[in-house]
Structure 1
Amino acid sequence: MVVPVILVHGGAGNISDENICEMVKGIKCAVIKGYEVLSNGGNCVDAAQACVEVMEADPAFNAGRGAVLNSFGEVELDAIIMEGKTLNFGSVGAVKNILHPVALARKVMEKSRACMLVGEGAAQFAKDEGFTSTPTYDLVTESSIISYEKFSCNPECADTEFELVCFISKAHFKELCGAGVGTVGAVVLDACGNIASATSTGGTLGKPPGRLGDTPIPGGGCYAQDDVGAVSATGRGESIMRVCLSYRILNLMKQGMSAQKATEEALCYMQSTVGDAAGAITLSNCGDIGIAFCTKRMAWGFKKGKGPIHAGVEMPDHS
Structure 2
Amino acid sequence: MFLPLIVVHGGAGNIPDSRVQPKLDGVQRAVRCAYETYEKTKNILDATQAAVEYMETDENFNAGYGSVLTLEGEIELDALVVEGKDLKAGAVTGLRNVLHPIAVARLVMEKTPHVLLSGDGVQEFALKHNIPTESSLYTKDAWQALEHFKKNKAEPSKMEIGSGGTVGAIGIDVDGHMVSCTSTGGITGKMKGRVGDTPIPGSGGYADDNIGTVSTTGYGDAILRYNVAQRILHAIELGATAQEASEKVLQNMLDRIGKTAGAITIAKDHSIGIAFTSQRMAWAYKKENKIYYGIDKDKQFEEIF
1:266 counterpart = 2:252: no
CA deviations 1:194-229 (Å, max 9, x no partner) are 110000000000101111100000000100001111
Tell me how far 1:179 sits from its aligned partner. 4.8
RMSD over aligned CA atoms reads 1.4
Query: What corresponds to 2:48 in structure 1?
Result: 48
Q: In structure 2, what is the equivalent of residue 232 of structure 1?
A: 215
What is the distance in 1 between the residues matched to 2:193 and 2:252? 29
Contact 1:219 1:245 in 2 (8 A): yes
Alignment-derived partner of residue 121 in structure 1? 121
* Residue 155 (structure 2) aligns with: 169
| Paired AA for residue 311 in structure 1 | Y
The equivalent of 1:313 in structure 2 is 295
Q: Is the 8 A contact 1:198 1:222 kept in 2?
A: yes
- Determine if the alignment matches structure 1 residue 206 to structure 2 residue 192: no
Cα displacement (A) at 1:129: 0.6
Structure 2 residue identity aligned to 1:314: D
Mapping for residues 104-253 of structure 1, pairs under 5 Å = 104-136=104-136, 139-154=137-152, 156=153, 168-169=154-155, 173-174=157-158, 176-180=159-163, 182-253=165-236
Q: CA deviation at 1:14?
A: 0.9
Give the structure 2 partner of residue 282 of structure 1: 265
AA at the equivalent of 1:151: F
How far 1:178 sits from its partner (Å)?
4.5
* Structure 1 position 77, deviation (Å): 0.4
Instruction: Give the corresponding residue for 2:61.
Output: 61
1:185 aligned counterpart, secondary structure: strand
Worse-superposed segment, 281-290 or 36-45 = 36-45
Separation (CA, whole Å) in 1 of partners of 2:41 and 2:192: 40
Q: How many pairs were matched up?
A: 300
Unaligned runs of 5+ residues in structure 2 are: 301-305
Does the CA-based 8 Å contact 1:95-1:123 persist in structure 2? yes
Structure 2 Cα separation of the partners of residues 182 and 152 of structure 1: 20
| Structure-2 residue corresponding to 1:93 | 93
CA contact (8 A) 1:14 1:179 kept: no
> How far apart in 2 are the matches of 1:265 and 1:76?
31
Report SS of the residue matched to 1:40: helix
* Contact 1:223 1:231 (C-alpha < 8 Å) held by counterparts: yes
Matched, 1:257 2:240: yes
Secondary structure of residue in 2 paired with 1:272:
helix
Q: TM-score, normalised by structure 1?
A: 0.91
Q: Which deviations, in whole Å up to 9, do the C-alpha atoms of 1:15-65 show, x marking residues without a partner?
A: 111111111111011000111111123311111111100000100100000
| SS of residue paired to 2:58 | coil
AA partner of residue 118 (structure 1): S
Aligned sequence identity (%)? 44
2:32 is aligned to: 32
SS at match of 1:188: strand
- Code of the residue aligned with 1:64 in structure 2: it is G
Q: TM-score, normalised by structure 2?
A: 0.95
Distance 2:292 2:161 in 1: 23
| Shift in alpha-carbon separation, 1:181–1:275, aligned structure 2, 3 A | farther
Query: What displacement does 1:153 show?
Result: 2.2
**Unaligned segments of structure 1, at least 5 residues:** 157-167
**Secondary structure, counterpart of 2:94 in structure 1:** strand
Distance 1:189 1:145 in 2: 38
- Kindly indicate whether the alpha-carbon contact (under 8 Å) linking 2:66 and 2:138 is maintained by their aligned counterparts in 1: yes
- Structure 1 residues 263-304: Cα deviation after superposition (integer angstroms, max 9, x where no partner): 000011101111111000001112111000011100000012
